[in-house]
Structure 1
Amino acid sequence: MEDKQLLMMNVVSNILSSYYSNKTSFCLINQREPNNAEKDELLKRVLSMFENLTTSYLGDIKEIAEHAR
């Protein structure tokens, strides 16, 4: 498997983990499963968080990636 594929799998895994953590928190707080609109909103928040982190730490991410090679 290529490095790029491994990196992508790691990112997707982290996004899914964050989504399910947020969904679990929603269920605990609201004592119910989220409806489809609420699920979409949870996913949008998770994706937004990852986009913001990626933008904020892009330089650090590149530096770490270079040292890993």
Structure 2
Amino acid sequence: MGVSRNRGVALTFLDRQEEALASFNAAIALKPDYDRAIAQRDKIPKSERLRRQHHHREDRTSE
């Protein structure tokens, strides 16, 4: 959990928002009440989070 959150923080600093979001979501998937990961994820601009959700839905429908 902590590793995914730390990776997400590092990726955020590198301006790799989509990858950071995936790392935060991985940490949250393992521990849904992981407040620090949730807080970091919520700092990512909403437009990036929505874009990621849209791509995820497209990937699932193409299977």
TM > 0.5 fold call: no
Structure number with the higher helix fraction is 1
**TM-score, structure 1 length as denominator?**
0.31
**TM-score, structure 2 length as denominator?**
0.34
Task: Report which structure shows greater RCO (CA 8 Å, sep ≥6).
Answer: 2
